[in-house]
Structure 1
């Protein structure tokens, strides 16, 4: 039988809000018994750093009506019946289509999203005030079979050096799974394709320095036991779990900002919906100054032009994208070969 509806008091910009949560005892993470109510209370507990990382920008909600073991779907535009404090901004997708996208401007929006069984928040790299120009350069270090978090940490330290040489300061967070996310705050002076090219330039430079440890190969059959530097996460409308967003994994892990000094000793499995509020209370938010001194991608774009001159051109785009100028064929290398070859 469904549990009764409850009302949570949620801080808002103009005073407290009373937000209803239906079926608060519904278990969203069966392995650890975390309920919808606990999820909603988690967002209240991490409100400030969560909004700093995910608020005031287009965001997609990944919703799990039957918990993390069931099917999921994405909500991008505000559904019918959304409260008035849940805002939206019109954005342009890669197809050229324009559509409203959700924007979180207060923590009540995240609590409302939890009421809608949202577990993962996927923010754009740009702000709602200027959705076409990213304020973050994002690099996803994705461990391939035979590698794991420890190998991603080694790659992240070297990537930090590469980015510093390009005049950017890097910040790290766990993905909530096996990988690492490296972000750099940047001035919103370039559109998404330019930022993608900047990420590719950094990724290729890292690959040159660690050829046996990292790869930019898009096709899985060519990656081997290396960390894949996922350049395509820098595209328009391609997102990753935001900082302090829970993940739809059995133990309710959270994508958690960490300092560079603690990175080598981090256990990403220790950051969960139940432990992250305690961590924030004890050590604070490692990303509290994120965005205070945004950098520029000019040097990375110079590296991109250098690589173009050396014959290193465009790389494949995700399959849902239209064919892009200069893009190589979207076919696995093994399937592109003919018997005559």
Structure 2
């Protein structure tokens, strides 16, 4: 994309943002510089921002690029511009990823990953989806695919359905859009019920064991991450891994043996979006988000 000067200023939606060290290589294996990566992000902004808005942001920063040291950051830095929105939750003051200038300003800080809360700042404690994080214990993505398809099958038995996306790393994540009227305690009951059902149905494949060294080759079905104060990688965020992979929403018919998350990177995502569109729109703007009352009523009867 061309070499740039040691410092450049870009104008994004009437905001001037200084990009420091634009030639710094952030993804060494593909020689991707900060400048090139920010150009990718500006193209992805229309897909990242609709879901990100009003959600508490957890940043993961790699000041020296992938392979260097990294750190999590939840509190907004003291030096943020006054045009960046924030919201408090407990003792933390989170940045809200509301617009493209905020995305680029954070990118200049080498924030390579954007992790978002399950609830919104204007309605805290009320998640907008049920979310399940499915991770392999060994390098076998086909087992993750099988688990995700079983998850969808179980959801449809409950008259629910969702959208699947790659984590950008090694797993898959399933999002079920719901009406944001159920606190985390209620969504946890349903998530736990589904997790127990799946682990009981396929104990050879699925585990709820959090300790990696006790899982063997089983796929970890993580329902515990979905909770207040926790977060998950944003759709279309990059991951700080070789190749600059992107957390990519998929259609269910794409989950076939041989699929790999490494196929979806900053260098392939734009063509994919132009050809296939954005499957995550079903989560961002669901036609009819699900009510959970029938399932909660069933669990109450089951408990009694």
Q: TM-score, normalised by structure 2?
A: 0.91
Distance 1:303 1:24, change over 3 A: farther
**Corresponding residue SS for 1:105:** coil
Q: Which runs of 5+ in 1 are unaligned?
A: 93-97, 310-341
Q: Deviations over 1:222-268 (max 9, x none)?
A: 42211110112112122221110110112111110011112216331
1:226 maps to which of 218, 228, 238: 218
Distance 1:44 1:299, change over 3 A: same
Q: 1:215 to 1:294 in 2, by over 3 A?
A: same
Q: How does 1:71-220 map to 2 (within 5 A)?
A: 71-92=69-90, 98-145=91-138, 148-220=140-212
1:46 alignment partner in structure 2: 44
- Aligned-pair distance for 1:196? 2.2
Residue pair 1:149, 1:179 contacting (<8 A) in 2 also: yes
Question: 2:261 is matched with which residue?
Answer: 268
In the alignment, what sits opposite 1:334? none
Deviation at 1:71, TM superposition (A): 1.1
| Corresponding residue to 2:8 among 2, 6, 20 | 6
1:10-49 aligned within 5 A:
10=12, 12=13, 16-49=14-47
Counting matched residue pairs gives 298
Question: Which of the two has greater strand per residue?
Answer: 2
1:144 and 1:137 map into 2 onto residues whose CA distance is 23
Name the SS of the counterpart of 1:187 in structure 2.
coil
For 1:192 and 1:261, the matched residues in 2 are separated by 30
CA contact (8 A) 2:118 2:227 kept: no
Contact 2:52 2:98 in 1 (8 A): no
SS in 2 for 1:126: strand
CA displacement at 1:208 relative to structure 2: 2.2
TM-score, normalised with respect to structure 1? 0.82
> 2: distance between equivalents of 1:218 and 1:80?
36
**In structure 2, do the counterparts of structure 1 residues 267 and 220 end up closer, same or farther at CA, with 3 Å as the change threshold?**
closer
